[in-house]
Amino acid sequence: DDSACGDDACRAPAPSADGTIGSDRQECDCKAADIACMAVFWTYCPGFILIYAPLFCKLWRMRVAFRTAAKTNKLTITPSSHIFALIAAAAAIELTLLATWQLTYPLEYVRITTDRELLSGEPTESYGTCRGEEDTVGARVFVAVLLVYHATILVAGTYIAYQTRHINTRFSESKWVFLVLASTLQIFLISVPIIYVVESDPSAYFLVTSFIVFISNATVLCFIFVPKAMSHATALPMTQSP
């Protein structure tokens, strides 16, 4: 059964004098715990958009330029203002989803009892997690919508990167961006079921989510900046001694 936070205390098993857990209330700051539940999404989701939306827009801009050049023999570059507008639109959609979620079915910190004393019925084991304040289904719907939105960006970006894979790397890093998006999409598809399985184990859940965020960001940094650094290093002219 679930035990939600009260106004001044979180519901959590408290150890009794003999070492068992005899009460399901423990003083703590519930507001801070509730804020932390939603803060995870308020920090991760905008970060995702700020990383992958520019990559998507860059690929789209390059594809439009080369397709136009192939038809008209004239290279036309989409203005940077249009690119910034697309990124802003993607970010606005993300923030709108998060704000709507925050106002309708925000997450709150709860403790779920997994075992009770046989005779007294007092809780002996429990774990803390974040659940929907009034409707768990409503919160899961918003999570599903965000997942679909992120997956759409990754799939569309991967498709465009594949189409532009033959463009010289001097004009576009589509090959490396394709590896970034394809790798992130694989991580995305694998991580969703794993997170669902370990949801009831806080330690495993924290480890898995931290590892996923680290690998995703490290993939972007390695595939985007390491080739640039290597290309720059090999392109530098040899210094001649006087």
Q: DSSP string spanning 134-155?
A: S-HHHHHHHHHHHHHHHHHHHH
pLDDT (0 to 100) of residue 180:
87
Query: Cα(124)–Cα(116) distance, rounded to whole angstroms?
Result: 5
What's the chain's length in residues? 242
Strongest mean pLDDT among 97-101, 138-142, 198-202: 97-101
Mean pLDDT over 142-159 rounds to 91
Average pLDDT score, the chain: 78
Closest by CA position to 98, among listed 148, 149, 55, 38: 38
Tell me: pLDDT of 124 over 90: no
Going by their DSSP bridges, the two strands 14-15 and 123-132 should be labelled as unpaired
Q: Are 202 and 111 in contact (CB under 8 A)?
A: no
Confidence bin at 113 (pLDDT 50/70/90): confident
Confidence bin at 138 (pLDDT 50/70/90): confident
Token pair of 92 as six digits: 């606005």
Task: Choose between 92 and 114: higher pLDDT.
Answer: 92
Mean pLDDT over 35-52 rounds to 91
CB atoms within 10 A of CB 21: 20
Query: Cα(61)–Cα(242) distance, rounded to whole angstroms?
Result: 45
What Cα–Cα distance (Å) separates residue 24 from each residue in 7, 28, 42, 120?
A: 15, 12, 30, 13
Closest by CA position to 54, among listed 187, 143, 173: 173
For the chain, state the CA radius of gyration: 24
pLDDT (0 to 100) of residue 9:
41
Confidence bin at 11 (pLDDT 50/70/90): very low
Closest by CA position to 40, among listed 113, 103, 102, 82: 102
Token pair of 138 as six digits: 């409503």
Query: Cα(46)–Cα(220) distance, rounded to whole angstroms?
Result: 16
User: Among 8-17, 89-98, 233-242, which stretch is predicted with the lowest mean pLDDT?
Assistant: 8-17
Pinpoint the alpha helices (H) of the chain. Answer: 30-72, 80-104, 136-163, 174-197, 202-235
Residue 5 — φ and ψ, nearest 5°? -70, 145
Tell me: pLDDT of 90 over 60: yes
pLDDT (0 to 100) of residue 170:
65
3-state secondary structure (DSSP) of residue 128: strand
pLDDT (0 to 100) of residue 228:
76
